[in-house]
Amino acid sequence: MPLYLFRCTACDHESEVLLPLGETADRPCTRCGKPARHRFARIAVKYNGWGFTATDSLVSDTQGKDFKKLRETAEKISDE
C-alpha cells in the first residue's frame, strides 16, 4: 500500500496517509477538519548500477526545488 501526501486547503498542514492504491480522494485535515487534497510527492529511487544515484548529489537544495541547477549540471555531465 502506498503512502500518500495530503495538504489542507485551509491551513496548509501536510499529512501522510497509508491507503490502498488509487485512493486519492479529498480527506478531512487531521488538524482543522477542512478538506485536504492529494499532493504528488517525490519518491526515492535507487538503482544498483548507473542511474539516479549518480545525480542525487548534484543539487545542494535538500527540498529539491533547484531543478534548473540539476538540469544544467546533468547536461554538462552528459556532454563529457
Helix (H/G/I), strand (E/B), else coil: 78 = helix
44: left (phi over 0), alpha (psi -120 to 50) or beta: beta
Quick one: pLDDT at residue 15? Answer: 92
Return the number of other C-beta atoms located less than 10 Å from residue 29's C-beta: 21
Return the number of other C-beta atoms located less than 10 Å from residue 58's C-beta: 15
Report whether pLDDT(23) > 70. yes
Whole-prediction pTM: 0.51
Domain ranges of the chain: 3-39, 43-80
User: Tens digits of per-residue pLDDT, 24-39?
Assistant: 899 999 999 999 999 9
Report whether pLDDT(72) > 70. yes
Quick one: pLDDT at residue 1? Answer: 72
Quick one: pLDDT at residue 26? Answer: 94
